[in-house]
Structure 1
Amino acid sequence: MSQPATTLWFSLRHRLLGLLLGGVAAAWLVTMVFSYIDAHHEVDELFDAQLSQAAQTLLALASHDEGDDIEDLGDASHKYQRRLRFQIWRADGRLLMRSKNAPETPLTDAIGFSETQGDDGHWRHFSQWNEDRSLQVQVSENHHIRDELIGHIAWRLLLPALFGLPLIGLWVWLATRQGFAPLDGIARQIASRDPQQLQPVQPSTAPEEIRTLLEALNGLFQRVEHTLEAERRFTADAAHELRTPLAALQAQLQVAQRARDSDERDRSMSQLQSGLTRAAHLVDQMLHLARLDPESGLPNPQAVDLPELAEEVCADLGPQILEKNIDFDFTASPACQVTGQAEWLRVLIRNLVDNAVRYTPEAGQVRVNITRSEAQITLSVSDSGPGIPPEERESVLRRFHRLNQGSQPGSGLGLAIVARIAELHGATLKLDASNMPKGLLVTIQFPGR
């Protein structure tokens, strides 16, 4: 036998916490990345503009004051000044002016913006000639200035996330705990119930999201309550119904024991045998009904040839039909297959035909017909017996309900079993007056294949 699948349990609170924090962290990270890229671009643009402006300012100053000697500026007074340097060159290649930290060789050979990477670090350059191309200015800035500023911006973006995410996580944890409190209350309410308490679960407050779950649970409770009530009713009815035949059997046995001669003993034994037959039939019918009641669907449904099955059942009942000299007729249309459980359908047909034969007087008539029309297959059993009054036709479908129709033995379960089997097969059951002078017509319509 295969082992039942084990349930993989997980914490919904932990999952929600992970999803929410993960989503917030991902959104924050994406925002930080785009903000970082945008800030980096804006910082580069700003510093490049400053380089260009500084170069143009130096050109303007140098054009009005050209000397013959190289002029070195003093030491830098600000920390960022040491990361900035410039040179002013004549057209003949002579160095006119430079900052203290600038070399005496050109900073760059390119015109405009350029970058170099060397032992002295990563530098961003801007080179420009004046209008008559007599002077060239070269301004350089250490890239570390930009990287440091971008680092400060990134840290300012990251710092709120480092403090904010734990606070958001705590808030989400408290919020989910508060949100799941009604679920814990409902669980405690169900756990504290006795097995006999099957009334609907009706919490004072509950999330709308678990309405479907509660409705399904209450529906299950209702079905279980109906099943238990049916079991209790069946047990009570069975005990009541078995008491009478058992008492009769005991009485017949006592009569047989006290018989004064063989003829009286034989009569008592014959009545005892009849009583045993009726009791066995009652127990058999009760077992059939007991197996049907718990079923919620068809066990192993298959294609069933209804005419073939009905013919076998009618052949089994042949001795009773011949004994009463009944005019019996069986007709069936071809290709009348239904989807169902063959053994249950056999019980259904046997109960219908057995009832018809049982209640039909000698030399009476019984008709069994199976026809097909469009998407339905109809099984009808009619007889010339006493019939069932219209006001009693609904009652006879209940268990242990018997009509006062003479001395014919019966358990009061036959039509109840038929109704239950028809229900399991999705068929409709109808009781009508027979088209004979009197009698009963039972019609069952099955959905066709």
Structure 2
Amino acid sequence: MKHGNSLRRQLTIWFTILLISFGLMGGVGAYIVAQQDPDNFLDDQMRGIALDVVGSVDDLAQMPAPPLDATDMIVVQAWDGEGQLLKSFPPGFDLPRQQRTGFANFATPEGRWRSYTWVLDDGTVQVSQQAQVRRELAVKAALPALVTTFLLIPISWLLVRWVVGRILSPVDHFTHQLLERRPDSTVQLSSPNLPGEIAPLVGAMNEALSRVRAMLAVQRQFVSNAAHQLRTPLTSLRIQLRNLRQVSNRAEVDDILKDMELGIHRMSELTSQLLTLARAESMRSSEVSQPVPVNEVLLEAIAGVMTLAQGRGITLSSVDMAPVPVRGEKHDLVMLFSNLLDNAIRYTPRGGHIDLSFQVDAKHVTVEIADTGPGIPEDLLTRVFDPFVRGSSEQDGTGLGLSIVKALAIRIGAQVSLANRRGRTGLVARVTLPIA
């Protein structure tokens, strides 16, 4: 599989650029070093020619022609004490005479020259050579190194490509492992030879797979429990419908219809709570939600369950609550407290009490709902938030109320906890909300 952002291609390109850069720098360095050697050699040669010329004659006008190779482009000139040119080998060159003994560089219409000048009492001897000759010698000396370097670049490119492929082979193996997995597989990924830079990514993927596996297990358990909860009233309705066809007594018909009505009501309630739970778990609270006064939320929630509490002879009492604004959707907050109050009413015996109180600090509002029911066994205090788990099987209910509370709390950024009351029976539900 090819990608525009290929790590293999990027590594190969950058390594190739580095190789070419080093090759170019090496070639330039070889040229500079190679140029120094001919310069030093030719400078010594020019100085030696000047010494030979001066040492071989007494009169510069009688200077014989030195045995020079024409390809060296060396010009030997002699001037008298007044600056008149006496001799020039080869003839035809009129190069400017330098005024001081030593090496010098100058330019003429024929090109640049380098000269060694020896100024005597009775004249001047100057040996000059074109700079082009020196450059050609330097190029000839550096050319083998340049050719060798540029021949090594494609070989090095192939070597780099092979090395990069060898280094990334565990990544290729890991890719094939992913492609060959089944879509529903949650088995942990394993590739012990992965580079250290890739290992954290695999660890994160394994952690995500663990969460997916746990989520799928919860989902399967939820579906199984939901199917069981729905199967029971459906089976009962089917049996009652068969019985209804077999009876002719009006009183018995009324009893069967009453039982069927209760079953349908239970199914309707269960379906409604399943939809509410699914909606609460799948949606997130709006980021632009307006601050909601917590006292209005609690008053609306209390009003919604007051009829149920009065029917069971349960007293609801609360302290005066300040209108502290909290974050969250009002509908979510009302539903959260309504489910907690409904749960407290269902498990509180007739004639019991439910007390609401709250505390405020700099960042949070904490609301407590304390009932006088039987409480929950300690080992179930955290499990009762799971779907279809109930603290007591003696009370009617679907076992989804606290699951909805937990989902809504996560959705609005609140914290919910349960604790048995100390020194007496009862349960305390504590909700901590962030202040807007």
Q: Normalising by the residue count of structure 2, what TM-score does the alignment of the two structures yield?
A: 0.86
Q: What pairs with 1:430-441 in structure 2 (closer than 5 Å)?
A: 430-434=417-421, 437-441=424-428
Greater shift in the superposed pair: 108-117 or 258-267: 258-267
Report what 1:146 is aligned to: 134
Taking the aligned partners of 1:37 and 1:340, their CA distance within structure 2 comes to 75
Q: Which residue in 1 is equivalent to 2:28?
A: 33
Shift of 1:401: 2.0
For 1:213, the equivalent position in structure 2 comes to 201
1:114 to 91, 101, 105: 105
Contact preservation (8 Å) 2:413, 2:434: yes
Does structure 2 conserve the Cα–Cα contact (< 8 Å) formed by 1:396 and 1:402? yes
How many residue pairs get aligned? The number is 430
Matched residue, 2:159: 171
CA gap of 1:116–1:404, structure 2 versus 1, over 3 A, is closer
Q: Per-residue deviation at 1:144?
A: 1.9
Cα RMSD (Å) of the superposition?
A: 3.2
Q: 1:94 to 1:189 in 2, by over 3 A?
A: closer
Check conservation: 1:386, 1:405, Cα contact below 8 A: no
Q: How does 1:420-435 map to 2 (within 5 A)?
A: 420-425=407-412, 427-434=414-421
What is the CA–CA distance in structure 1 between the aligned matches of 2:157 and 2:380, rounded to whole Å? Answer: 69
Aligned residue number for residue 126 of structure 1: 116
Partner of 2:78: 88
Q: 1:418 aligns with which of 405, 417, 420?
A: 405
In structure 2, relative to structure 1, the CA distance for the partners of 1:304 and 1:72 (3 Å cut) is same
Determine which of 334, 337, 343 is the counterpart of 1:349: 337
Shift of 1:258: 6.0
What letter is aligned with 1:146?
Answer: R
State the partner residue of 1:15: 10
Residues 391 and 338 (structure 1), Cα distance of their counterparts in 2 relative to 1, 3 Å cut: same
Identify the residue that residue 380 of structure 1 maps to in structure 2.
368
**Native 8 Å contact 1:86 1:102 kept in 2:** no
User: Are 1:240 and 2:232 an aligned pair?
Assistant: no
Mark the CA change 1:319 to 1:431 in structure 2 (over 3 Å): closer, same or farther.
same
Counterpart residue identity of residue 109, structure 2: G
- Aligned 8 A contact 2:285 2:411 in 1: no
> Gaps spanning 5+ residues in structure 2: where?
none
Following superposition, the deviation at residue 212 of structure 1 comes to 1.1
| CA distance in structure 1 between the partners assigned to 2:193 and 2:184 by the alignment | 24
2:181 partner letter: R
Shift of 1:20: 0.5
8 Å contact from structure 2 (residues 319, 357) kept in 1: yes
Residue number in structure 1 paired with 2:179: 191
Matched residues in 1 for 2:423 and 2:107: separation?
115
CA 343–50 in structure 1, closer or farther in 2 if over 3 Å, else same: farther
- The answer to whether structure 1 residue 300 and structure 2 residue 286 are counterparts is yes
What is the deviation of 1:108?
0.8
Deviates more, 1:33-42 or 1:162-171: 33-42
Q: CA deviation at 1:353?
A: 1.1
Change (3 A) 1:95 1:396: closer
The answer as to whether partners of 2:364 and 2:432 remain within 8 angstroms in 1 is yes
Deviation at 1:413, TM superposition (A): 1.6
Aligned-partner Cα distance in 2 for 1:442–1:259: 48
The aligned residue for residue 369 of structure 1 is 357
Tell me, in whole angstroms, the C-alpha distance in 1 between the residues paired with 2:290 and 2:54: 102
Identity %: 27
Unaligned runs of 5+ in 1: 1-6
Q: Closer, same or farther in 2 for the Cα pair 1:20/1:32, shift >3 Å?
A: same
**Aligned-residue offset at 1:366:** 1.8
Q: 234, 259, 264: which one pairs with 1:276?
A: 264
**Residues 359 and 84 of structure 1, relative CA distance in 2, 3 Å threshold:** same
Aligned amino acid, residue 91 of structure 2 = A
Whether the aligned pair in 2 keeps the contact of 1:289 and 1:417 (CA below 8 Å) is yes
C-alpha displacement of 1:202: 1.5
Higher mean C-alpha displacement, 330-339 vs 268-277: 330-339
Looking at structure 2, the residues matched to 342 and 44 of structure 1 have their Cα atoms a distance apart, in angstroms, of 91
Per-residue CA deviations over 1:80-112 (Å, capped at 9, x if unaligned) read 44x10111221144544432x133x75213324
In structure 2, C-alpha distance between the alignment counterparts of 1:299 and 1:157, rounded to whole Å: 71
Change (3 A) 1:433 1:142: closer
Q: AA paired with 1:102?
A: P
Kept in 1: contact 2:281–2:408 (CA 8 A):
no
